[in-house]
Structure 1
Amino acid sequence: MVNINALDPSASPLDYYGFELRRCREAAGLTQKQLGDIINFTASLVGQIETARKLPTLDFSERVDAALGTGGLLSRLHPLVMRSQLPAWFQQVAELEVRAAEICSFQTHMILGLLQSPAYARAVLGAVDRSDLDDRTAVRLARQNMFEKEEPPVFWAILSEAALYSEIGGRETMRGQLVHLLTFEDNPRINIQILPFSAGAHAGLTGSFDLYRFADDPTILYTESFRSGHPTANPETVRECSLRYDHLQAAALSLKGSAELIRRVMEDRYGEQVA
């Protein structure tokens, strides 16, 4: 077991979280078991989080904050902890997601991470590597908490129709993912368009990309290759891809037409009608 007294709070956000959790618990005069009983988690889990061996969930953080009267300290630390667990090359993107006023994404072959259901995310992440799969899935899904901010970004997603047919995770997982997409239908800040097969040659044939727009900073274009990301604020490149995105939106189905296509795919492939 890690010696908590030797835990360096400056080593990482996870270490800092564990250090603060223990400090607050001891200040309240509680053992790990007593705190666990209050928040309905095991003493073992409390100990693992205090020693930076286990990732805290937002639910855990909120319960501890309420039990110890920390003023929301651990809940505020939680997003920082989760972002720190992302691959190093992707952490900058997670920061862009949080800061952006508008995000425009085009995906060629699967549902992007910010719109993935838990089962779909797990299937994607576990396709080749199943190590630490619970934690890696939790870290990916935590990025979606940005939609719960007081002023979340306006989010536009254009998905290739192919993403609706690729049965990632099996029939039940894919059915659930399509249902998940439809839950955003009435959210004016989360807009999903489908680029149909009938569009033929289109402006996104060179691959997926994201545009991050900010209130006071230049727009950033982000593209990705194997285990590496490539953000750029080069004005010419950003202008070109912004124009490509405009053409993709013009070629894609309307918001209503996109939702209708998702329903049609569900009915055709899974015999299920969704109102």
Structure 2
Amino acid sequence: MAQIHPTAIVDAGAQLDDSVTVGAYTLIGPHVKIAGGTSIGPHCVIEGHTTIGRDNRIFQFNSLGAIPQDKKYAGEPGELIIGERNTIREFGTYNIGTPGGGGVTRVGNDNWLMAYVHLAHDCIVGNHTTFANNAQMAGHVQVDDWVILGGFTNVHQFVRIGAHGMTALGTVVLAHQPPFVMSEGQPARARSMNFEGLRRRGFSAERVSAVKAMHKALYRDGITLEQSKARIAELAQSHPAAQADVAMMLEFLGATSTNDRGIVR
């Protein structure tokens, strides 16, 4: 049997692995599924169609799976899906998805999500991210792998932040932030690329050099975005070790071009 504190209320319909622990005064609804090794702190509310994977550590006073803060929402089915090995600190609010956004709010694996993080409906968070205290995501935000969001970062709805990016304290992200970019300000402006983070993750000198060239094409050469994309594409030939990095940048720039938010400049 799962280790459930006597004061916790777990609906009979909830599916908890035998190794799950549940703290005092926590409420778990009938459509919740929690896999093995996950611990739930005291005073949490986990409701809705919420699925939580293995080995997550969820601290006290979290609200997971509540209905969206969306006036258009009319009770349609939606889900919150949380992967494995995530740390979710106090006072997080993660809402289920809506029909207009695919119906799922999703958190990947190995993320470090600090206190007071808000994930609105239909947000998609990748793997190995770090969100500092009070990082706030509006609806339909996508945050790719290895992103670091500084404390009090606010992200506008329908915005995407590319992999390996970083924001400074109090940044307001109103446009798509391409991969590798470090930004700051209100609204966010690109200041550099996350070179130190890339080195820590084992990027070779050739890959870092390619990222520098991408930054130059996007932000330093004074050319159009289409011209920047053409120069970036050429890097796959001159920097063969960075082909995947170039492809990721081009995919991002292509995918976000259909959205009127533009990119962080």
Give the TM-score, by structure 2 length: 0.31
More strand, by proportion: 2
Q: Which has the higher helix share?
A: 1
Structure of higher RCO (CA pairs closer than 8 Å, 6+ residues apart): 1
TM-score, structure 1 as length reference: 0.30
Between structure 1 and structure 2, the one with the greater Rg is 1
